[in-house]
Amino acid sequence: MRAMPSSAVVPSNDPSVFSRTGEPALFSSGNRVLDALAPPDFAGIEHDLEIVSLSAHQFTHSIGGTMHHVDFPIDAVLSVVATLLNGDSVEVGTVGCESFVEADAALDSTIASRTSFCQVKGRVGRMTVERFEHRMRSSAPFARLMRHNVRATLFSAQQFVACNAKHSVLQRCARWLSMTADRVGSPQFTLTHDFLSIMLGVRRAGVSEAADALSRLGAIDYGRGVVTVLDKDVLERAACECYRACRQAFATSLIA
Amino acid sequence: MRAMPSSAVVPSNDPSVFSRTGEPALFSSGNRVLDALAPPDFAGIEHDLEIVSLSAHQFTHSIGGTMHHVDFPIDAVLSVVATLLNGDSVEVGTVGCESFVEADAALDSTIASRTSFCQVKGRVGRMTVERFEHRMRSSAPFARLMRHNVRATLFSAQQFVACNAKHSVLQRCARWLSMTADRVGSPQFTLTHDFLSIMLGVRRAGVSEAADALSRLGAIDYGRGVVTVLDKDVLERAACECYRACRQAFATSLIA
DNA sequence: CACAGTCTGTACGCAAACGTACCGAAGCCT
DNA sequence: AGGCTTCGGTACGTTTGCGTACAGACTGTG
């Protein structure tokens, strides 16, 4: 059984646990989906967003719970997980500035169908479900963009199905680190082997071995919960094709 | 490399390859999603549907191709697959009467993001994309139902991510057979070990071993491409939790 | 009826990953 | 500074599943 450490399991739907900076978004939100909106459709969106700083392992949505807000990551990375009956949690989606959480909100639902939490600390633009739904109804371009994004989310989940069936632990580690480096917009971020192993559904020792191999290749440096990407090209080459496939899917979702 | 046999790889977007019975749907379509529509929303849908009989391994949608139609399975089972660079095809979604293909159509897209084909021969109700889109625009209950169904599709894909990471070949075989038995509405259907192995992303021999184990349990009988479910309870108990989780997700998508 | 093709049962050695454990190093708290 | 906790490196035997192969059984076709 590979459950998340108890620190992460503290349910924190209580909004008061989130520290808030309160600063409004200005010219751009920092989230690529929202920033892909044409100016007329983007108008006023800064008033609908609250910038929230999440620390690692804070929950944002809880399976079966009512969604109160939709989070558009800026430099935070969120994990969407499926929890199995034996307590194992496996990541089924990773969400950064290229997407939002939860997709359900764009599918006419206000119940979260999965649990999500902050994997790499950072900021999100938070919108209430009411405001989100209002925009979905009142702005066809907004709704279209969100649904195209859900399409990429579905595509990614499907890609991970194949990935977990066919690709090695090393490849999947490299994929995860490549994706995350893109999302945080920095070559360095916080993540323990233990957490990555839970997300990938593998042994902690397996991640340590993969991390060691990637270090030897010069792709990364790993020290006590902090990853530094030294050579992104090498890292991407060590990753399976799923990295590029998902990146591509989200990229086209923004323009189509 | 575990590619699909060449017989399945024959692209058959040419509509003439499908045999058509031409009979209109009457009181119920046979597809549970459409049949979940309230009478006023269902009205006239039989004129939008053409009943098409698909034989095994006929393609219905091709990745990157324009979707001309949306298929609502009646007793056919379709597989949605991801094809990896090395040619391996892995099933990322199975679609029967509880859903439809392609989900993209309900996400403001007319490009198929995955390839789909008929896995177990049978009938589908086929609607042109134009009619589908017209109904999406003109009927809020229709659109809502379709999007709730996409939500279940996403949930299933996510479940399979975890499933492929954590569950054994035996469990996954039992899950697949349980799901398929539900969808075809008959305890007997056509499926070779070889195809199931490709769908699950495992060895053909692995499926043979699992099938043998399930036979010994009295759950199924397997002979030359024909599975017979002898004891559904035993089969479901041999399956992982993902079977019930996905069934539940689609069931609630019809009523919520 | 014979033959070719398909499907399944089974076997073998091998590689990947598992579960588990232990230790030392690094950070944190008092 | 000392002690506790967290984190990562490493090791061991074990299990699962892989890749491959081959033979027997069945089926459809000529």
CB-nearest to A147 from B108, B153, B249 is B108
Q: Which residues are paired to A73 by β-bridges?
A: A124
Residues with Cβ within 8 Å of B85's Cβ and at least 6 positions away in sequence, in order, are A241
pLDDT tens figures, B141-175: 999 999 999 999 999 999 999 999 999 999 999 99
Segment B50-72 shows an average pLDDT of 96
**DSSP collapsed to 3 states, A59-113:** EEECCCCECCEEEEECCCEEEEEEECCCCCEEEEEEECCCCCECHHHHHCCCECC
Identity at A73, one-letter amino acid code? P
The whole-angstrom distance between residue B231's C-alpha and the CA centroid of its chain comes to 22
Q: Per the omega criterion (within 30 degrees of 0), is the bond before A102 cis?
A: yes
CA→C1' distance for A57 and D13 (Å): 35
B109/A148 CB distance under 8 A: yes
Segment A44-57 shows an average pLDDT of 94
Cβ A223 to strand C below 7 Å: yes
Identity at A203, one-letter amino acid code? R
* Residue B125 clears pLDDT 50, i.e. is over it: yes
A249/B113 CB distance under 8 A: yes
Q: How far apart are CA B176 and CA A142, in angstroms?
A: 37
For B172, which residue in chain A has the nearest alpha carbon? A165
A154/B153 CB distance under 8 A: yes
Segment B73-93 shows an average pLDDT of 96
DSSP B207-228: HHHHHHHHHHTTSEEEETTEEE
Going from the C-alpha of A194 to that of each of A5, A8, A83, A174, B75, the distances in angstroms are 9, 12, 16, 15, 45
Closest residue to C15 (CA, C1′): A168
Helix (H) or strand (E) holding B119: strand B115-120
Closest residue to C17 (CA, C1′): A206
Q: How far apart are CA A174 and CA B149, in angstroms?
A: 33
What pLDDT sits at residue A27? 65
pTM, two decimals, is 0.92
CA→C1' distance for A229 and D8 (Å): 18
Segment B18-33 shows an average pLDDT of 62
pLDDT tens figures, A221-237: 998 899 999 999 999 99
Cβ A5 to strand D below 7 Å: yes
Nucleotide showing the shortest C1' distance to residue A195 CA: D7
Segment A236-254 shows an average pLDDT of 97
Name which of A181, A160, A162, A154 is nearest A253 in CA terms. Answer: A154
Query: What is the maximum alpha-carbon separation in chain B?
Result: 53
pLDDT tens figures, A109-164: 999 999 999 999 999 999 999 999 999 999 999 999 999 999 999 999 999 999 99
Nucleotide showing the shortest C1' distance to residue A208 CA: D8
The residue with tokens 């996954």 is B172
CA→C1' distance for B173 and C8 (Å): 16
CA→C1' distance for B203 and C2 (Å): 33
B157/A162 CB distance under 8 A: no
pLDDT tens figures, A181-190: 999 999 999 9
* Residue B20 clears pLDDT 70, i.e. is over it: no
Please give the residue that has the higher pLDDT: either B202 or B24: B202
